[in-house]
């Protein structure tokens, strides 16, 4: 299933100018698309629009079309869309449902809401927890986990819905280095397994590892896009206000310093 | 599997984990939560409706102390119920003992206030009533997990959203208190004064109120989005993982208790029985 | 549709009639044998409240029988409201428990959450928040926050929620800043008058002989959290008086008058409904600072019924005015965009505060 945004614009309720304009984006099966841009560029807004939360849950107005495999989803209610597109957020704690005493119940929350059979709920829950490698956390209280672990639980909760696409809005932004590593590895595993993910990130190193394509957004519009390694090495990236991945920065520094990057001990191929 | 995010970690087939819906340690714990809630409510209301001393004391023995003993929580119950009732009991006792208007039989005179025998009788009645209510409610609280009661109600038909509110409320109270305590500690470490002069204490309150109350309300938007992203808006029932068992005899007992209570109230209001 | 309302109205009237008939004439007096306030003169408000609840249940029952669902009520409960309610319940319980268990002053401060939800989401949502708060407070919340008597007053909380919802729906909590002095005129006089009257009553009540003649600033109780929260409560009450005056004269916000009227009205109704419950079930003693006030009134010769009513009429208006003011402050701290998404949010935003035009290809949510 391909998720397509065509000519999409979005304006928050009561805002004088739109937060997104003329956005064209495609997320085919099995692709990981990275979304980068400076703060307030519209990354979060784009994630909300792609998942359907904007305008359904957060209000505001939209223009353009959003299609799932060519079908316009404008009239789809949020619960129907949530079974096709899962969205994860920055703050791990506010994604917890607060009604689950154990991680198992937390992950099962989504499928329970969908009304599938009980056996189906149980099977999906174990499967999602296995993918995120949190089976041994099954009995733990989600409120007492670390930020990174909570983020994994949140993602497992999304996977249990069996969505066609995952949208992740800066999943490591509020995590410490250990948590960032945990979540980064999980995303890499999902990507290697053929998942379709749209991930907004400031940490371009993570995207360098997992993304197939990278889209650069600024001031509500898409500046440029392309294959990941090309886009991340593009000099316009820094101009747009985005920090380039470490290998790219090293190579540039080496070249600027007159050192042949091929002779550096640390490999600098992104 | 086209059309969904592929999960390729193999896993052994598992069923419902055994830590869900674990039955309680004693027969009382294993009673259906609705039965226990009915018992607590009927006992509390009956204690008020019975009046006098003998009635409530008998009621408490049968409906509170015996089950508590069976559930091995008698000691805890006595301690908790007394603790719960203590502030009210002391106030009630003193207020009624000393401030009973129109008293004839004076027991004690302490300056301008007098203790009377009528006051004493009344005070004892109120005391017994308060202890009965406190005991009934504590028995429920000690033998029932609130989440179990909510699951049972949801199985019987209350809306999943109502169940959500009930469950989340129970979890939010300790969570908010923890947060307030954390923020207090953090602010204290930054030099916030919670002792000291009146003005300092007042000034010290605000850095705690802001994060706790306003912060919780600010989170509403994020939490709303997270819930809707998990299919929360789907109308109708949702799948429940488990529900507490209910026996026919318990259903009978519940109806019997309610019927007895109604009979009691009607007979008292109609003056048939004092 | 009409059938539901008629059925509810009939049920309401029937319950009122039953109540009046069984309570008898409207004298007041304590039966010397059973100590029951059998003539309950001040029970008419309680009867009204019970009738209201039963009328609502009948309405819901008929709607369920007709349509197999509860659509008109469910519409008030969107996800946002559902998420807010537990937070509101927690605020009610935590602050209320602080006042009841640790601070011995005659107010309650257990309705901030109820009124907040009522104003934002509507009467039914507010009513349910109040109901749930009181029930959980007695049955489920562990000590030190647990409060035994709370469940008996659940019906009072229901009515408070309804009144707050109606006040919100009527636009009473909409900010009205920068009014000219002429427009402020009556509103200012009313507000200042009520504040002065309340402060004087508070002073009278709170410094009654039972207290030892001075306002008690010390916070009893061993839990450190109560120490902090106790001071918060005092700040809130004193702050309300100052805040209302500031709203009126600095921001020239006419809503200060509406806040005072809403608080006064809700307080009086709450006192009328809770007095017979307090008198008959608990003989006027519920463990908080209000008990001393009841004692003082009884010493002055009043019976339980009159004493609890008198205490209620002093404590409740102060409590509810403070609560409505705090809710107004909380609303002021929320962005317009956040409030707008609540069912009654559009009535809480200043006139012309949000421009939202559907023009050309821009469209709002259709699902």
Give me the sheet containing A3-11, strands edge to edge.
Answer: A20-27, A3-11, A61-68, A71-72
pLDDT tens-place string over residues A77-122? 999 999 999 999 999 999 999 999 899 999 999 999 999 999 999 9
Q: What confidence tier does C129 reach under pLDDT thresholds 50, 70, 90?
A: very high
Touching A: B residues 124-153, CB under 8 Å: 147
Q: Name the residue of chain A whose CA is nearest to B160's CA.
A: A113
**How far apart are the CA of C348 and the nearest CA of chain B, in angstroms?**
16
Inter-chain CB proximity A94 and B168 less than 8 Å: no
- For chain C, percent of residues with pLDDT exceeding 70: 69
Inter-chain CB proximity A130 and B241 less than 8 Å: no
Which of B15, B228, B231 is opposite residue A161, by nearest beta carbon?
A: B231
CATH code of residue A53? 3.40.50.300
Which chains, if any, share at least 3 CB pairs under 8 A with chain A?
Answer: B, C
Query: Does residue C50 share a domain with residue C149?
Result: no
Q: Is residue A147 part of a domain?
A: no
Inter-chain CB proximity C356 and A55 less than 8 Å: no
**B102 near B164, Cβ under 8 Å?**
no
Q: Name the residue of chain A whose CA is nearest to B222's CA.
A: A94
**B125 near B100, Cβ under 8 Å?**
no
Query: Does residue C118 share a domain with residue C1?
Result: no
CA-to-CA distance for A126 and A134, rounded, in angstroms? Answer: 9
Q: What confidence tier does A123 reach under pLDDT thresholds 50, 70, 90?
A: very high
Q: CB under 8 Å to B203, separation ≥6 — which residues?
A: B193
Report ipTM (2 d.p.): 0.90
Q: Which of C78, C342, C362 has the highest number of chain A CBs within 10 A, making it the mutation to test binding with A?
A: C362
Query: Does residue C65 share a domain with residue C188?
Result: no
User: Quick one: average pLDDT of B113-136?
Assistant: 80
Which has more pLDDT, B191 or C221? B191
Query: Does residue C15 share a domain with residue C115?
Result: no
Asked if the C-beta of B234 comes within 8 angstroms of chain A's C-beta atoms, the answer is yes
Asked if the C-beta of A99 comes within 8 angstroms of chain C's C-beta atoms, the answer is no
**How far apart are the CA of A236 and the nearest CA of chain C, in angstroms?**
32
Asked if the C-beta of A77 comes within 8 angstroms of chain C's C-beta atoms, the answer is yes
Q: Is residue A121 part of a domain?
A: no
**pLDDT number for residue C49:** 76
Which of C136, C148, C299 is opposite residue B170, by nearest beta carbon?
A: C136
Q: Is residue C363 part of a domain?
A: no
**How far apart are the CA of C182 and the nearest CA of chain B, in angstroms?**
35
Judging contacts by C-beta atoms under 8 Å, the chain B residues touching residue C148 are: 84-85, 88, 130, 133-134, 137
- Which structural domain, as residue segments, surrounds residue C182? 76-343
* B-C Cβ pairs (cutoff 8 Å, strict): 182
pLDDT tens-place string over residues B197-241? 555 555 555 666 667 888 888 899 999 999 999 999 998 889 999
Inter-chain CB proximity A59 and C365 less than 8 Å: yes
Q: Name the residue of chain A whose CA is nearest to C336's CA.
A: A14
Query: Does residue C125 share a domain with residue C69?
Result: no
Query: How many domains are contained in chain A?
Result: 1
- Which structural domain, as residue segments, surrounds residue A232? 1-30+37-77+202-270
Q: Which of A157, A168, A166, A98 minimizes the C-alpha distance to A132?
A: A157
Query: Does residue C181 share a domain with residue C95?
Result: yes
Does C352 sit behind a cis peptide bond, omega within 30 degrees of 0 on the bond before it? no
pLDDT tens-place string over residues B165-177? 989 998 898 888 8
**pLDDT number for residue C60:** 80
Judging contacts by C-beta atoms under 8 Å, the chain B residues touching residue C90 are: 169, 172-173, 175-176, 216
Which of A57, A161, A195 is opposite residue B225, by nearest beta carbon?
A: A57
Judging contacts by C-beta atoms under 8 Å, the chain C residues touching residue B218 are: 334, 338
Q: Is residue A168 part of a domain?
A: no
pLDDT tens-place string over residues A195-224? 899 999 988 888 888 899 999 999 999 999
Q: Is residue C33 part of a domain?
A: no
CA-to-CA distance for A254 and A232, rounded, in angstroms? Answer: 17
Q: Is residue C294 part of a domain?
A: yes
Q: Is residue C364 part of a domain?
A: no
Q: What confidence tier does C367 reach under pLDDT thresholds 50, 70, 90?
A: low
Inter-chain CB proximity B101 and C303 less than 8 Å: yes
User: By three-state DSSP, how is residue B272 classified?
Assistant: coil
Asked if the C-beta of A93 comes within 8 angstroms of chain C's C-beta atoms, the answer is no
Q: Which of B208, B186, B178 minimizes the C-alpha distance to C235?
A: B208
**How far apart are the CA of A64 and the nearest CA of chain C, in angstroms?**
8
Judging contacts by C-beta atoms under 8 Å, the chain B residues touching residue A171 are: none
Which of C86, C225, C280 is opposite residue B168, by nearest beta carbon?
A: C86
Query: Does residue C274 share a domain with residue C263?
Result: yes
**B132 near A60, Cβ under 8 Å?**
no
Q: Is residue A97 part of a domain?
A: no
Which of B140, B177, B274 is opposite residue C34, by nearest beta carbon?
A: B274
CA-to-CA distance for A212 and A232, rounded, in angstroms? Answer: 11
Q: Is residue A67 part of a domain?
A: yes
**pLDDT number for residue B28:** 87
Asked if the C-beta of C208 comes within 8 angstroms of chain B's C-beta atoms, the answer is no
Which of C34, C139, C227 is opposite residue B140, by nearest beta carbon?
A: C139
Asked if the C-beta of A12 comes within 8 angstroms of chain C's C-beta atoms, the answer is yes
Q: Is residue C367 part of a domain?
A: no
Query: Does residue C130 share a domain with residue C5?
Result: no
Query: How many domains are contained in chain C?
Result: 2
Query: Does residue C148 share a domain with residue C44?
Result: no
**pLDDT number for residue B7:** 45
Q: Is residue A128 part of a domain?
A: no
Q: Is residue A256 part of a domain?
A: yes
Query: Does residue C215 share a domain with residue C95?
Result: yes
Which of A14, A57, A78 is opposite residue C356, by nearest beta carbon?
A: A14
Q: Which of B81, B112, B111, B115 minimizes the C-alpha distance to B95?
A: B115
Q: What confidence tier does A138 reach under pLDDT thresholds 50, 70, 90?
A: very high
């Amino acid at each position: 299933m391909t998720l397509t945004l065509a000519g999409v614009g979005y304006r928050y309720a009561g805002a004088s100018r739109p937060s997104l304009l003329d956005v064209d984006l495609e997320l085919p099966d099995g692709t990981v698309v990275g979304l980068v841009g400076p703060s307030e560029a519209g990354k979060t807004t784009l994630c909300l629009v792609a998942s359907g939360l904007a305008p359904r849950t957060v209000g505001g107005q939209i223009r353009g079309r959003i299609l799932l495999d060519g079908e316009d989803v404008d009239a789809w209610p949020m619960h129907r869309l949530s079974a096709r597109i899962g969205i994860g957020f920055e703050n791990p704690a506010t994604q917890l449902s607060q009604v689950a005493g154990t991680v198992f119940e937390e992950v099962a929350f989504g499928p329970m809401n969908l009304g599938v059979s009980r056996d189906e709920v149980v099977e999906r829950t174990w499967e999602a927890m296995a993918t995120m490698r949190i089976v041994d956390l099954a009995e733990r209280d989600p409120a007492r986990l670390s930020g990174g672990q909570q983020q994994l639980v949140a993602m497992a909760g999304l996977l249990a819905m069996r969505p066609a696409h995952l949208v992740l809005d800066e999943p490591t932004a509020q995590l410490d280095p250990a948590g960032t590593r945990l979540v980064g590895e999980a995303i890499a595993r999902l990507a290697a397994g053929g998942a379709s993910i749209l991930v907004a990130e400031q940490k371009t190193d993570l995207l360098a590892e997992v993304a197939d394509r990278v889209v650069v957004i600024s001031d509500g519009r898409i500046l440029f896009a392309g294959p990941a390694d090309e886009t991340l090495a593009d000099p316009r990236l820094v101009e747009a206000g985005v920090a380039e991945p470490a290998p790219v920065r090293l190579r540039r520094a080496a070249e600027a310093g007159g050192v042949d990057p091929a002779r550096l001990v640390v490999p600098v191929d992104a | 599997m086209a059309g969904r995010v592929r999960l390729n970690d193999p896993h052994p087939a598992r069923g419902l984990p055994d830590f869900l819906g674990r039955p309680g340690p004693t027969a009382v714990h294993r009673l259906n939560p609705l039965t226990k809630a009915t018992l607590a409510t009927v006992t509390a209301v009956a204690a008020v409706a019975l009046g006098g001393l003998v009635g409530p004391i008998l009621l408490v023995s049968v409906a509170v102390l015996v089950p508590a003993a069976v559930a091995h929580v008698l000691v805890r119950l006595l301690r908790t119920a007394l603790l719960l009732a203590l502030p009210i009991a002391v106030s009630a006792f003193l207020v009624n003992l000393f401030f009973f208007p129109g008293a004839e039989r004076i027991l004690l005179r302490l300056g301008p206030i007098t203790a009377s025998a009528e006051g004493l009788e009344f005070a004892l009645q109120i005391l017994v009533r308060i202890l009965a209510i406190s005991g009934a409610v504590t028995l429920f609280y000690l033998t029932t997990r609130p989440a179990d009661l909510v699951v049972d109600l949801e199985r019987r038909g209350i809306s999943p959203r109502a169940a959500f509110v009930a469950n989340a409320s129970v979890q939010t109270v300790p969570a908010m208190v923890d947060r307030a305590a954390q923020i207090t500690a953090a602010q204290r470490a930054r030099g916030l004064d919670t002792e000291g002069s009146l003005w300092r204490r007042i000034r010290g309150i605000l850095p705690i109120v802001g994060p706790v109350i306003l912060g919780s309300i600010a989170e509403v938007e994020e939490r709303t989005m997270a819930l809707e992203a998990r299919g929360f808006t789907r109308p109708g029932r949702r799948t429940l993982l488990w529900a507490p068992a209910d026996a026919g005899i318990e259903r009978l007992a519940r109806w019997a208790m309610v019927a007895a209570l109604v009979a009691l109230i009607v007979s008292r209001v109609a003056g048939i029985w004092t | 549709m009409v059938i539901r309302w008629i059925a509810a109205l009939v049920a309401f009237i029937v319950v009122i009639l039953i109540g009046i008939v069984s309570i008898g004439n409207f004298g007041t007096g304590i039966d010397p044998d059973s100590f029951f306030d059998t003539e309950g003169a001040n029970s008419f408000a309680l009867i009204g409240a019970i009738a209201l609840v039963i009328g609502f249940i009948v309405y819901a029952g008929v709607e369920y029988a007709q349509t197999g669902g509860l659509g008109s009520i469910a519409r008030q409960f969107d996800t946002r409201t559902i998420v807010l309610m537990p937070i509101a319940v927690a605020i009610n319980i935590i602050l209320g428990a602080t006042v009841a268990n640790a601070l011995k002053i005659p107010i309650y401060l257990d309705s901030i959450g109820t009124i907040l939800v009522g104003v934002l989401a509507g009467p039914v949502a507010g009513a349910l928040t109040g109901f749930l708060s009181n029930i959980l407070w007695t049955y489920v919340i562990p000590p030190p926050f647990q409060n035994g008597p709370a469940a008996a007053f659940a019906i009072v909380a229901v009515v408070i929620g309804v009144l707050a919802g109606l006040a919100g729906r009527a636009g009473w909590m909409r900010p009205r800043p920068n009014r000219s002095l002429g427009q402020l005129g009556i509103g200012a006089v009313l507000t200042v008058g009520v504040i002065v009257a309340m402060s004087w009553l508070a002073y009278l009540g709170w410094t009654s002989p039972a207290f030892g003649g001075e306002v008690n600033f010390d916070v009893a109780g061993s839990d450190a959290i109560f120490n902090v929260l106790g001071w918060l409560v005092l700040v809130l009450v004193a702050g309300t008086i100052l805040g209302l005056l500031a709203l009126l004269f600095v921001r020239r916000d006419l809503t200060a008058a509406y806040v005072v009227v809403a608080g006064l009205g809700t307080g009086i109704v709450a006192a009328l409904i809770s007095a017979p419950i307090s008198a008959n079930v608990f003989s006027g003693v519920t463990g908080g600072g209000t008990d001393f006030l009841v004692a003082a009134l009884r010493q002055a010769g009043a019976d339980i019924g009159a004493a609890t009513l008198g205490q209620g009429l002093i404590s409740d208006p102060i409590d509810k005015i403070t609560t409505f003011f705090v809710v107004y402050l909380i609303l002021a701290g929320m962005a317009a965009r956040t409030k707008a998404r609540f069912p009654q949010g559009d009535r809480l935003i200043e006139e012309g505060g949000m421009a939202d035009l559907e023009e050309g290809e821009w469209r709002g949510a259709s699902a």
